[in-house]
C-alpha cells in the first residue's frame, strides 16, 4: 500500500457511522429540548485565540497545537477545542445583545498532537454546548442535567460524575501560593512537566497522571479553605441542586481540568471501561474568558464537550439498546442484463424515491448464486426479472424469511411496499 492514514487519525467506516448517527440524533434532540441552537465555527482559527483562552501554560498550547502559516503569513491552527471559537463567534456575531441566556451547541472535528492510544487521537470529534449570560448556580446544575440526560438516553448507567470548584481569581491566587509552597518541598520528585507547572500553573500538578506526581498530590492542600464566601455558596448551591435532580456525583478535589479558562465549577463524567482515557465528557464555568482574554464584555458562561470516539467505543457493545438505521436491503432485484437491467433500475428508482432500500444486481448470476447473495446481504425480499417477466409485466416476489412467493404486476410493486402488504406472506 502506497499511502496510509496519518498517525493518530481514523477512518470512520459505515458500520461506525450508523452508531454515530444514532448518537448524534440523541445529543441533538436533547440539546434542542434544553433550548440550544446548533452552530459551526471554522476548523482554522488564529493561533492567538487559543494561546489567550486555553492558556499558554496548558498542554494543548505548549505541546499539542497543529500550527501553520498561510500564504499571507497568518499564524493559524487546526482548532484543538471548540469553546474558544464559539466565544470568538459570540463576540463577532454580536450575540452579546441577544436575549440571555444564549445557548449554543456544535459538532466539531478537532486536532491535538497527542500520543495516540485507545480513545485518544490526533483528529477527533466532539459534541459541545456553551451557555452564555447566567451566573446562577442553577445554570451549572442545568448544564450537568443536560450532560446527565444525554448519557442516560445513550443507556449509560455506570459513568461517574466528578465535580469540583476552582474558585474565582481571588481565592485561586491564595490557593496557588499555598500549592507552590507545598510542592516546592517535593520539587525534585516531580516529573519534568510538573517542575515547569510549579512556576507557570501549579494547579495543573493536581491533575498529573504520572505516579511520581500522584504520590505528592495525595497530601497537597485542598482548595476548600481558600474559597471566598461567594464561591463556597455557589458550589454548595450547585451540589444541592444536582442532589435535588437525583444525579449522583463525587466531589473530586483533584479535578482541575486541562484548560486555563475555568473558574468555579468544573466537572467530568468518567468511565472505568476506557482505561487511562476514561473521561467521556468534561466542562465547567468560564466567567472571565470573554472579558479578560478576548476583549469582550463581562459575560458569565459555562459549557461542556463530549468525545464522540470515546462514546462510540463504549456503545459498540450496546448496539441492541439503540435505535439504529436499518441498512439491509428491503428488496434485492436480479436480472439478466440488457433491457431487464433497465427494467430493474426503473422499479428500483421508484422505490428508492420513497426511501426504500433496493439492491440491484448487475452481474447476471445464476439462480442459485442470486439466492445465496440476496441472503448474504440480508435482503428481505427478492425479485428476478427475466425475459418472461418483462413480457408479461408480472413478477414473483419472494419473501426470503418465509420463503413464500407472491405474484404482482410491475406497476403495483411500489404501492405494495409502501402499504406494507408484503407482511401478509
Q: Which residues would be at the binding site for ligand HAM (CB under 6 A)?
A: 81-83, 112, 114, 119-121, 124, 126, 128, 130, 258-259, 279-284, 303-305, 307, 309-310
CB-nearer residue toward ligand HAM: 66 or 182: 66
Q: Which residue has the cell 422505490?
A: 351
What grid cell was written down for 48? Answer: 492567538
CB-nearer residue toward ligand HAM: 91 or 400: 91
Q: Which of 252, 237, 30, 240 is nearest to 135 (CA)?
A: 237
**Smallest separation, CB 301 to ligand HAM (Å):** 8
CB-nearer residue toward ligand HAM: 116 or 386: 116
CB-nearer residue toward ligand HAM: 87 or 395: 87
CB-nearer residue toward ligand HAM: 175 or 304: 304
Q: Beta partners for 161? A: 269
**Smallest separation, CB 173 to ligand HAM (Å):** 22
DSSP structure class, residue 80: S
**Smallest separation, CB 255 to ligand HAM (Å):** 11
CB-nearer residue toward ligand HAM: 88 or 310: 310
**Smallest separation, CB 408 to ligand HAM (Å):** 51
CB-nearer residue toward ligand HAM: 81 or 361: 81
The CA angle 238-239-241, to the nearest 5 degrees, is 65
CB-nearer residue toward ligand HAM: 112 or 172: 112
- Nearest residue to ligand HAM, scored by beta-carbon proximity: 307
Q: How far apart are CA 323 and CA 144, in angstroms?
A: 25
CB-nearer residue toward ligand HAM: 267 or 417: 267
**Smallest separation, CB 313 to ligand HAM (Å):** 10
**Smallest separation, CB 242 to ligand HAM (Å):** 17
Instruction: Specify the 3-state DSSP secondary structure of 184.
Output: helix
Q: How many residues does this entry show for the chain?
A: 425
CB-nearer residue toward ligand HAM: 257 or 398: 257
CB 216 within 8 A of CB 190: yes
Q: How far is CA 201 from CA 54, 75, 179, in A?
A: 13, 25, 10
- For the chain, give the longest Cα–Cα distance: 93
Q: How far is CA 23 from CA 198, 277, 357, 365, 422, in A?
A: 40, 20, 22, 39, 31
Instruction: Specify the 3-state DSSP secondary structure of 422.
Output: helix
What grid cell was written down for 236? Answer: 454548595
Q: How far apart are CA 323 and CA 46, in angstroms?
A: 40
**Smallest separation, CB 288 to ligand HAM (Å):** 13
**Smallest separation, CB 270 to ligand HAM (Å):** 9
CB-nearer residue toward ligand HAM: 113 or 336: 113
Q: What single string gives the DSSP state of each residue in 368-414? A: HHHHHHHHHTT-SEEEEE-HHHHHHTEEEEEETTT--EEEEEGGGHH
Q: Which of 86, 81, 91 is nearest to 50 (CA)?
A: 81
**Smallest separation, CB 1 to ligand HAM (Å):** 25
Q: How far apart are CA 331 and CA 409, in angstroms?
A: 16
Rg (CA), the chain: 28
Would you call the peptide bond into 20 cis, given omega within 30 degrees of 0 as the criterion?
A: no
**Smallest separation, CB 402 to ligand HAM (Å):** 46
**Smallest separation, CB 403 to ligand HAM (Å):** 47
Residues 6+ apart with CB under 8 A from 363: none
Q: How far apart are CA 282 and CA 305, in angstroms?
A: 6
**Could you tell me the end-to-end alpha-carbon distance of the chain, in angstroms, rounded to an integer?**
49
Amino acid at each position: 500500500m502506497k499511502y496510509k492514514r496519518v498517525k493518530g487519525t481514523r477512518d470512520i467506516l459505515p458500520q461506525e457511522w450508523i452508531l454515530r448517527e444514532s448518537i448524534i440524533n440523541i445529543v441533538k434532540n436533547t440539546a434542542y429540548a434544553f433550548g440550544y441552537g446548533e452552530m459551526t465555527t471554522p476548523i482554522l482559527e488564529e493561533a492567538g485565540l487559543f494561546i489567550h483562552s486555553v492558556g499558554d501554560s496548558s498542554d494543548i498550547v505548549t505541546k499539542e497545537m497543529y500550527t501553520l502559516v498561510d500564504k499571507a503569513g497568518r499564524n493559524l491552527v487546526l482548532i484543538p477545542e471548540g469553546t474558544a471559537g464559539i466565544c470568538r463567534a459570540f463576540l463577532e456575531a454580536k450575540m452579546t445583545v441577544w436575549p440571555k441566556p444564549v445557548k449554543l451547541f456544535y459538532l466539531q472535528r478537532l486536532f491535538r498532537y497527542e500520543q495516540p492510544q485507545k480513545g485518544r487521537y490526533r483528529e477527533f470529534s466532539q459534541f459541545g454546548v456553551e451557555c452564555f449570560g447566567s451566573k446562577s448556580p442553577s445554570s451549572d446544575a442545568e448544564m450537568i442535567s443536560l450532560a446527565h440526560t444525554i448519557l442516560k438516553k445513550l443507556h449509560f448507567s455506570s459513568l461517574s460524575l466528578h465535580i469540583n470548584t476552582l474558585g474565582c481569581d481571588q481565592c485561586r491566587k491564595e490557593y496557588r501560593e499555598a500549592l507552590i509552597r507545598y510542592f516546592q518541598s517535593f520539587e525534585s520528585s516531580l516529573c519534568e512537566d510538573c517542575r515547569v507547572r510549579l512556576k507557570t500553573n501549579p494547579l495543573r500538578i493536581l491533575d498529573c497522571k504520572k505516579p511520581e506526581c500522584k504520590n505528592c498530590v495525595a497530601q497537597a492542600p485542598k482548595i476548600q479553605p481558600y474559597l471566598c464566601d461567594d464561591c463556597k455558596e455557589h458550589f454548595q448551591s450547585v451540589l444541592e441542586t444536582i442532589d435535588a435532580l437525583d444525579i449522583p456525583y463525587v466531589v473530586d478535589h483533584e479535578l482541575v481540568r486541562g484548560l486555563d479558562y475555568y473558574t468555579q465549577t468544573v466537572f467530568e463524567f468518567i468511565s472505568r471501561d476506557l482505561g487511562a482515557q476514561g473521561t467521556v465528557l468534561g466542562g465547567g464555568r468560564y466567567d472571565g474568558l470573554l472579558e479578560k482574554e478576548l476583549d469582550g464584555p463581562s459575560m458569565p458562561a459555562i459549557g461542556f464537550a463530549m468525545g464522540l470516539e470515546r462514546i462510540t467505543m463504549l456503545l459498540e457493545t450496546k448496539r441492541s439498546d439503540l435505535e439504529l438505521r436499518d441498512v439491509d436491503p428491503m428488496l434485492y432485484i436480479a436480472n439478466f442484463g440488457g433491457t431487464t437491467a433497465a427494467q430493474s433500475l426503473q422499479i428500483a428508482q421508484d422505490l428508492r424515491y420513497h426511501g426504500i432500500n433496493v439492491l440491484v444486481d448487475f452481474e447476471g448470476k445464476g439462480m442459485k448464486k442470486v439466492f445465496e447473495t440476496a441472503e448474504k446481504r440480508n435482503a428481505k425480499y427478492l425479485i428476478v426479472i427475466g425475459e418472461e417477466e418483462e413480457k408479461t409485466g408480472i413478477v414473483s416476489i419472494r419473501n426470503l424469511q418465509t420463503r413464500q412467493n407472491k405474484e404482482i404486476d410491475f406497476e403495483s410493486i411500489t404501492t405494495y411496499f409502501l402499504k406494507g402488504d408484503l407482511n401478509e406472506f
